[in-house]
């Protein structure tokens, strides 16, 4: 609590100290006219335009912390975006994404011209009944971008301007900061709120799971990890000291030479459907890529014919749900389990999950907050975006049942299965997708099943697909419905897409405005790569002509 000494007595501060806020704000003045929006994952733009935004997110985090009487997180990162970009997002009390109403306040606050700042802050306090007498605690983290240090300093200024207390965790992965927030708000129940506590929790669960692995092929699990020249490299190196020797990790793109996210990283690999440039890959060698802030992971390998195989978020969700479903059956527990995907999920994955595995699948809008929300409706909710961002959520009731059974079950087989589930729960970062945690879980599952990456890949074959971007004057021209699978505006666009899709076998296509870039995204899949490429191109042309395309007309692929 921020306290003022008045007449010898300590009086809680009841009103905001606007003079102090204004003084600090002048040091982080907003360039007049500049406007931005709290998008899919917070604010993202060129780092040079972000100073006022991050300062104000420091202010907002204090208000949110007072309102929820909880610790709030502020992460400075632009994930897979290029080095010159940066971004900021707030983390809510249980380590989840910021509540939608507060995203709107964030946008208002970031766009307020200097003289309006006081009014906007007061409005938020009034609408949300923020009790200024409560104390505030904010935790801050940042990625390895050259601009991140200074920007996180501006967040600190924002927190200080409103008298909030803070802890700066410095360089951490995005999911590590989510974990810290959750630990702090659950009185350490979730784990210890230190980077060491994170490594200890995950490594303990991983080793316990590995003990139950009956076969370890040649005694070692080997994995090459492209860390996108980002924070993941630093943190994975730190974590290696906590991991058993049987797991051999070779870190590549560790930031010592290359540029962040440049021709490498999970986003590059997924979008271009090829390995990172300069990554040495032996035939059938198991490789993986993190993104710039280590919340995404994808796997891949080259087969003997030199063909590239990608195991994306859909395949990861399939592997994890197969494993969890089998374990649940063994325990005899009747818990609901579902997989949550987005429209970007490959049609083959949805088909396999529903038809072969008999697992219910739900489709949510892009952005983990939407998937996370849906996943909460089940005892066990597995959610993954095709790009490799995802995790598993266990309801409180499910977790209690599993932990109870792991302790008390008389039947050996059932008890072992429950123990395995318990270790899985502890290995998973339930707050958000986490490349390090996902990596360990995937490796443990493969070891337990005695599977190679090729055997995992063989579960189903992806439909050939293509993702493209189209530049338009205003991407809000496109409005969508049905979890983004149908365009409502501009008029005629959906009809055009329908007509194009109809002509091709196993085809599907949709468009949506990106929430992190100033573009419209196009997705298409079909029976052959050529058809998927052509369909994506035709749909891009339709967007360009009907939704106000700018610059050159999209060119055919190839």
Residues with catalytic function: 79
- 92 vs 533, which CB is nearer to Zn ion? 92
Strands 165-171 and 137-142, by their bridges, are parallel
User: Which range touches ligand NG1 (CB under 6 A), out of 5-13, 216-224, 471-479, 512-520?
Assistant: 512-520
Binds ligand NG1 (CB under 6 A): choice among 45, 333, 387, 429:
387
Contact characters 236-275, Zn ion, x per CB under 5 A: ----------------------------------------
CB 265 within 8 A of CB 290: yes
Residue 395 as a binder of ligand NG1 (CB under 6 A): the answer is no
| Least distance to ligand NG1, CB of residue 63, Å | 24
Q: How many residues bind ligand NG1 (CB under 6 A)?
A: 14
Residue 273 as a binder of ligand NG1 (CB under 6 A): the answer is no
User: Which range touches ligand NG1 (CB under 6 A), out of 141-149, 186-194, 221-229, 383-391?
Assistant: 383-391
Bridge partners of residue 304, in order along the sequence = none
E-strand spans in 208-332?
Answer: 221-226, 247-252, 287-290, 297-302, 308-311
CA torsion through residues 68, 73, 76, 81, sign: negative
Residue 295 as a binder of Zn ion (CB under 5 A): the answer is yes
Report the C-alpha gap between 479 and 190 in whole angstroms: 39
Q: Which does 40 bind (CB under 5 to 8 A by kind): ligand NG1, Zn ion, none?
A: ligand NG1
Q: What does each C-alpha distance from 33 to 67, 84, 287, 325, 422 come to in angstroms?
A: 30, 21, 46, 53, 52
Binds ligand NG1 (CB under 6 A): choice among 53, 65, 79, 391:
79
Residue 429 as a binder of Zn ion (CB under 5 A): the answer is no
Binds Zn ion (CB under 5 A): choice among 51, 83, 267, 291:
291
Residue 457 as a binder of Zn ion (CB under 5 A): the answer is no
Bridge partners of residue 522, in order along the sequence = 468, 511
Neighbours of 106 (CB within 10 A): 26
- 210 vs 371, which CB is nearer to ligand NG1? 371
| Least distance to ligand NG1, CB of residue 230, Å | 13
User: Contacts with Zn ion in 65-94 (CB under 5 A)?
Assistant: 79
Q: Which does 385 bind (CB under 5 to 8 A by kind): ligand NG1, Zn ion, none?
A: ligand NG1
Binds ligand NG1 (CB under 6 A): choice among 118, 160, 302, 514:
514
Residue 288 as a binder of Zn ion (CB under 5 A): the answer is no
Report the C-alpha gap between 494 and 60 in whole angstroms: 39
Q: Which does 154 bind (CB under 5 to 8 A by kind): ligand NG1, Zn ion, none?
A: none
Residue 516 as a binder of ligand NG1 (CB under 6 A): the answer is yes
Residue 366 as a binder of ligand NG1 (CB under 6 A): the answer is yes
CB 390 within 8 A of CB 433: yes
Report the C-alpha gap between 266 and 228 in whole angstroms: 7
Bridge partners of residue 171, in order along the sequence = 142
Which of 421, 514, 516, 525 minimizes the C-alpha distance to 469?
514
CB 109 within 8 A of CB 55: no
Residue 517 as a binder of ligand NG1 (CB under 6 A): the answer is yes
**Backbone phi, psi, residue 216, to 5°:** -125, 100
Residue 229 as a binder of Zn ion (CB under 5 A): the answer is no
Q: Enter the tokens of residue 537.
A: 């191109």
Bridge partners of residue 76, in order along the sequence = 88, 142
Contact characters 21-60, Zn ion, x per CB under 5 A: ----------------------------------------
- 157 vs 385, which CB is nearer to ligand NG1? 385
Is residue 474 packed enough to be buried (19+ CB in 10 Å), middle (13-18) or exposed (0-12)? exposed
Binds ligand NG1 (CB under 6 A): choice among 16, 21, 41, 181:
41
Sequence-distant (6+) residues with CB within 8 A of 423 are: 205, 208, 209, 212
**Backbone phi, psi, residue 324, to 5°:** -70, -40
| Least distance to ligand NG1, CB of residue 151, Å | 18
Residue 508 as a binder of ligand NG1 (CB under 6 A): the answer is no
Interface residues toward Zn ion, by CB under 5 A: 79, 291, 293, 295
């Amino acid at each position: 609590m921020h306290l003022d000494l008045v007449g010898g007595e300590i009086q809680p501060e009841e009103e905001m100290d606007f003079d102090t806020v204004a003084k600090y704000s002048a040091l982080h003045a907003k360039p007049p006219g500049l406007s931005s929006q709290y998008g899919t994952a917070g604010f993202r733009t060129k780092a040079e335009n972000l100073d006022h935004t991050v300062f104000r997110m420091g202010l907002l985090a204090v208000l949110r912390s007072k309102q929820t009487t909880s610790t709030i997180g502020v992460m400075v990162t632009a994930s897979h975006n290029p080095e010159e970009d940066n971004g900021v997002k707030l983390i809510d009390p249980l380590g989840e994404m910021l509540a939608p109403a507060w995203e709107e306040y964030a946008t208002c606050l970031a766009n307020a011209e200097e003289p309006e700042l006081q009014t906007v802050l007061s409005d938020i306090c009034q609408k949300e009944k923020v009790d200024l007498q409560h104390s505030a605690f904010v935790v801050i983290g940042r990625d390895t971008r050259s601009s991140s240090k200074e920007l996180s300093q501006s967040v600190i200024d924002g927190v200080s301007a409103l008298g909030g207390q803070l802890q700066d965790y410095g360089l951490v992965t995005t999911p590590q900061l989510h974990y810290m927030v959750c630990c702090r708000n659950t009185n350490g129940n979730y784990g210890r709120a230190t980077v060491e506590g994170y490594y200890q929790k995950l490594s303990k669960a991983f080793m316990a799971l590995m003990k139950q692995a009956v076969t370890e092929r040649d005694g070692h699990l080997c994995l090459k990890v492209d860390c996108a020249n980002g924070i993941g490299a630093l943190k994975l190196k730190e974590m290696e000291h906590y991991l058993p020797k049987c797991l051999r990790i070779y870190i590549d793109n560790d930031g010592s030479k290359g540029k962040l996210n440049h021709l490498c990283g999970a986003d590059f690999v997924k979008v271009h459907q090829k390995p990172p440039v300069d990554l040495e890959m032996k035939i059938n060698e198991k490789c993986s890529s993190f993104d710039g802030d280590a919340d995404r992971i994808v796997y891949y390998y080259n087969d003997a014919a030199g063909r590239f195989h990608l195991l994306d978020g859909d395949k990861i969700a399939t592997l994890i749900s197969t494993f969890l479903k089998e374990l649940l059956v063994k325990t005899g527990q009747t818990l609901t389990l579902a997989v949550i995907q987005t429209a970007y999920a490959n049609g083959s994955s949805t088909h396999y999950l529903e038809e072969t595995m008999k697992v219910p699948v739900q489709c949510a809008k892009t952005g983990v907050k939407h998937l996370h929300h849906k996943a909460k409706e089940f005892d066990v909710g597995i959610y993954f975006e095709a790009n490799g961002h995802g995790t598993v959520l266990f309801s409180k009731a499910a977790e209690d049942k599993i932990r109870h059974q792991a302790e008390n079950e008389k039947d050996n087989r059932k008890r072992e299965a429950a123990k395995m589930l318990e270790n899985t729960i502890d290995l998973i970062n339930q707050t958000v997708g986490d490349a390090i945690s996902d990596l360990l879980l995937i490796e443990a599952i493969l070891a337990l099943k005695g599977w190679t990456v090729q055997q995992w890949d063989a579960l189903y074959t992806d439909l050939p697909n293509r993702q493209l971007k189209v530049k338009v004057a205003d991407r809000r021209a496109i409005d969508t419905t049905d979890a983004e699978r149908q365009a409502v505006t501009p008029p005629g666009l959906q009809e055009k897409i329908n007509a194009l899709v109809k002509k091709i076998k196993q085809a599907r296509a949709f468009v949506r405005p990106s929430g992190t870039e100033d573009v419209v995204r196009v997705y298409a899949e079909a029976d052959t790569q050529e058809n998927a490429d052509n369909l994506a191109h035709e749909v891009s042309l339709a967007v360009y002509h009907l939704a106000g395309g700018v610059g050159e007309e999209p060119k055919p692929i190839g």
